[in-house]
Structure formats: C-alpha cells, structure tokens
Amino acid sequence: MSPHPIELYERGIEQLNSTARNVRASTATQEVFLSLIKKFPYSPLGYLGMSYCYRHDAYVGAQRYDIEFLKNNAYPLALKALRLGPSIRAVHENYAFFQELFFIGEGENF
C-alpha cells in the first residue's frame, strides 16, 4: 500500500526543513515531491512542495531571492497548485508570497 499524498508531502516538508541551513535543498527532498507529482498528478501537494523547494533554492546569502529563478521555476508550480487545490490554505499562502514579491512595490509584472 502506497503512502497517502499528505504523508508524502509531510515527509518532503520535514526533509526540506532539515536542510534549512543549506543553500540548496537536497536532491532527496525534490525526489519526494517529484514522486508525489508522478503518483498523484491531480494533487496540488507535489506542486506546492516543489514550489517550496525552488523557493528554498532561490534564496541567496544576502537575504534576497533570485527573482528570475523564482519566476521560471517556483511560480509556475505555485500556479498549478492553486488551480488544483484552491481550498488549501498552504497553497494560498504560497501564492500570496509570489503576489507580494512580483506585484507589490513598483507595480511591475515580470
């Protein structure tokens, strides 16, 4: 019996949190979320998890984000998660992060 999508998601989040001091998320963490996407392509959890991984990877030392990396990698996954799971709070919180990052401030779209 395969694990429930929520169990896989939580396992990936635990691994991501354990790599919080590293600049790059571990390959094992990304593999958890990619397997979740593969096994459950209509679940928003895999896309949400991969978006978190890319957010983690995009953070650079001077407390700022690599905007291009986020725009090209994490944001599309956040949109996919939003389309698949509009009733999940974490999905909305993740999308709100991108809304603030890309649309607030100077009002520029990417």
Q: Is 86 helix (H, G, I), strand (E, B) or coil?
A: coil
Residues 32 and 26 sit within 8 Å (Cβ to Cβ): no
For residue 109, tell me if it sits in a domain: no
Question: Count of domains in the chain?
Answer: 1
Output the domain CATH number for residue 86.
Answer: 1.25.40
Q: How far is it, in rounded angstroms, from Cα 72 to Cα 2?
A: 32
Dihedral of alpha carbons 21, 94, 71, 63, sign? negative
Element (H, E) at 64: strand 64-65
For residue 20, tell me if it sits in a domain: yes
**What's this model's pTM, rounded to 2 decimal places?**
0.85
For residue 91, tell me if it sits in a domain: yes
Domain holding 68, by residue range, is: 5-103
Would you give per-residue pLDDT tens digits along the chain (110 residues)?
778 889 999 999 998 888 766 656 678 889 999 999 999 999 999 999 999 998 888 876 557 788 888 999 999 999 999 999 999 999 999 999 999 988 755 445 44
pLDDT for res 79 = 96
pLDDT for res 17 = 85
